[in-house]
Structure 1
Amino acid sequence: MLYLVPTPIGNLEDMTFRAVRILKESDIILAEDTRTSTPLLKHFGIDKKLFAHHQHNEHKALSEVIRFLKEGQQVALISDAGTPAISDPGFLLVREAIKEGIAICCLPGATAFVPALVVSGLPSDSFVFEGFLPVKKGRQTKLKSLVNEQRTMIFYESPYRILKTLDELTVYFGADRLCSVSREISKVFEETVRGSLLEVKEYFENNVIKGEFVICVHGNS
Structure 2
Amino acid sequence: MTAGTLFIVATPIGNLADLSPRALETLRGVAAICAEDTRRSGQLLSHFGVNKPLLALHEHNEDALAQRLVARLAAGESLALISDAGTPLVSDPGYRLVRAARAAGVPVSPVPGACAAIAALSVAGLPSDRFVFEGFLPAKASARREHLARLAGETGTLVFYESSHRIAESLADMRAAFGDDRPAVIARELTKLFETVLDGTLAELQAKVEVDDNQRKGEFVVVVQGAGDDAEAQLAEGRRVYAMLSQHLPPSTAAKLAADITGAPRKALYGMKDPP
Match of residue 192 from structure 1: 197
Once the two structures are superposed, residues 56-93 of structure 1 have per-residue CA deviations (whole angstroms, 9 ceiling, x without a partner) of 22122112111111111101000100000000111111
* Residue in structure 1 matching 2:125, options 104, 121, 143: 121
Provide the residue aligned with 1:179 in structure 2: 184
Paired letter, 1:84: P
Once the two structures are superposed, residues 18-43 of structure 1 have per-residue CA deviations (whole angstroms, 9 ceiling, x without a partner) of 00000000001001111101111111
Counterpart of 2:217 in structure 1 is: 210
Q: Which residue of 1 aligns with 2:42?
A: 38
What TM-score, normalized by structure 1, do the two folds share? 0.97
AA aligned to 1:220 is A
Partner of 1:168: 173
| Alignment: residue pair count | 221
User: 1:157 corresponds to which residue?
Assistant: 162
| Alignment partners' CA distance in 1, 2:146 and 2:176 | 14
Are 2:138 and 2:144, in contact at CA under 8 Å, matched by a contact in 1? yes
1:142 paired residue number: 147
Deviations along 1:90-127, one digit per CA (max 9) or x if unpaired, are 11111111111111001110000112111111111111
Partner residue, 2:14: 10
**Could you list the per-position Cα deviations for residues 173-198 of structure 1 after superposition, in whole angstroms to 9, with x for gaps in the alignment?**
00111100001000010001100101
Find the aligned partners of 1:128 and 1:121 in 2 and give their Cα distance. 16
Contact 2:38 2:56 in 1 (8 A): yes
CA distance in 1, matches of 2:50, 2:198: 37
> In the aligned structure 2, how far is the partner of 1:146 from the partner of 1:62?
34
Aligned-pair identity in percent equals 47
User: SS state of the match for residue 105, structure 1?
Assistant: strand
Q: Given that residues 145 and 177 in structure 2 are in contact (C-alpha distance below 8 angstroms), is that contact kept between their aligned partners in structure 1?
A: no
Helix, strand or coil at the partner of 2:55? strand
Question: Do 2:35 and 2:84's aligned partners in 1 also have CA atoms closer than 8 Å?
Answer: yes
User: Unaligned 5+ residue runs, structure 1?
Assistant: none
Whichever of the two has the greater Rg, that structure is 2
Structure 2 counterpart SS, 1:131 = strand
Shifted more, 57-66 versus 102-111: the winner is 57-66
Q: Structure 2 unaligned runs (5+)? A: 229-276
Q: Greater RCO between the two (CA within 8 Å, min separation 6)?
A: 1
Shift of 1:138: 4.2
Cα distance in 1, alignment partners of residues 191 and 105 from structure 2: 37
Pick one of 85, 88, 93 that aligns with 1:84.
Answer: 88
**Partner Cα separation in structure 1 for residue 146 and residue 173 of structure 2:** 12
Q: Distance in 2 between matches of 1:184 and 1:23?
A: 25
TM-score in terms of structure 2 length = 0.78
Correspondence for 1:57 among 43, 58, 61: 61
For 2:143 and 2:59, the matched residues in 1 are separated by 20
Higher helix share: 2
**Which residue matches 1:69?**
73
